[in-house]
Structure 1
Amino acid sequence: MMLAAHYNLRPIVDLLFELLPLDRAVDDLLRLACRYTIDRHMLDGDNAFYFFAQGLNGKQTSDNPILYEVYEFHHECQTFDELISIQNDNNAMCMHALLVNERIFRQHGDIAIYFDLFEKQCDYYHDNQLFHRCLQLRIHAYQLIRRVQNDSYDQRRWHDNKFYSLVKDLQNMLRQSGVVPVDSLVIIFNWIFDQNMIVSTFLQLNLLKIVICVSIYSVVQN
């Protein structure tokens, strides 16, 4: 079905959607819709909307969705009317895709797919110099990965490989505005100490520079 969807063979997708177990078919369609919405090399708004709409029929809805600042307090669309109301709002559709991506990750724990999609959104934020949004999304994603996968090998590998991106976001924010969110620094240092993480000397020095700059700025402001 994913192959048929990729080549826009919608009649075959419809047929397979009827034949395959609903949960499996819906997740595949929704993942593809997320990619068509977020991946700048595969943008396809029409197919994304179509697959998101198909997915509405196969998921459990929530009466009280949790609203996160990282998703700009959007919630995953629960009805077709909600979905069509954001169809022409690229940012709202991206938030919807990120929320769908997170829900599927919570259910199945597919860290590679989850990680790839939110990183592509981070790339968009970075290209538009929205460094605070990069940091927000990465911290939220990391906290979620820790909760879902606990101390698994994939989670530890993600931690080791991607910690650099968090530090880079902090540096970019510091260069752009002269300030960084102190609560983000606290979260990052807690991760290091909680997991006895081995951080390279290079990253340690960069974190130290950021802390010093923040401290100096606070003194000057006071």
Structure 2
Amino acid sequence: MSKITIAIDGFSSTGKSTVAKQIAKELGYVYVDSGAMYRAITFYAMQNGFIDNNHFNIDGLVSKLQNVRVSFKFNEALGFAEVYLGNVNIEKEIRTLEVSSFVSKVATISEVRELLVQQQQKLGQNTGVVMDGRDIGTVVFPNAELKIFMTASAETRAKRRYDELIERGDKVVYEDVLRNVQERDYMDSNRKDSPLIKADDAIEIDNSNLTLQEQFEKVLQLVKITLEDCE
């Protein structure tokens, strides 16, 4: 059976990563969380004093980009690949609300996007791949056989994110999470370089009222149809 490229784009907290992991596991494909790569660069920028609430030293960050190495290592116990910055596992650190508050700003930098797009395209060469993000179907894999665009209301997405952070033990307020979701939506959709838009040939899925299982089954059905068409 031929292998295909599956591009899953959409707004933050729409469950892109969850369903992408499920589909990749079901098919035995490579899974790449492109958003985690931008979070890793953001974490690097925070750790090295390039960005905080008062300033963003873009030139300083860009000058160090070639020294930044982001990679994924599969964790058999967890069943998915974790993110590494250099040799350090930063999977937990990049999922905080603080990183979320800066990641869309970092993602607007053309040099950052150029570097990560190159890495993402290499990860998807000569293999079946499921990749989720903001510009996978429009920039990274414009010729992907299956493109999906995930969406849900901002309130629904904020509640999901809030519950996830609370379960992790983070101390957050729902209103702050909602504000972060809305701000990221605006920045992701209005940046000049590779803005978040639905590809013309992408299939839109509003999962506001779907369970995780219903979402998985809906996407899996689209995958099966695409695979049949590619035979």
TM-score (ref. length: structure 1): 0.28
Larger radius of gyration between Structure 1 and Structure 2: 1
More strand by share: 2
Which structure is richer in relative contact order (CA contacts within 8 A, separation 6 or more)?
A: 2
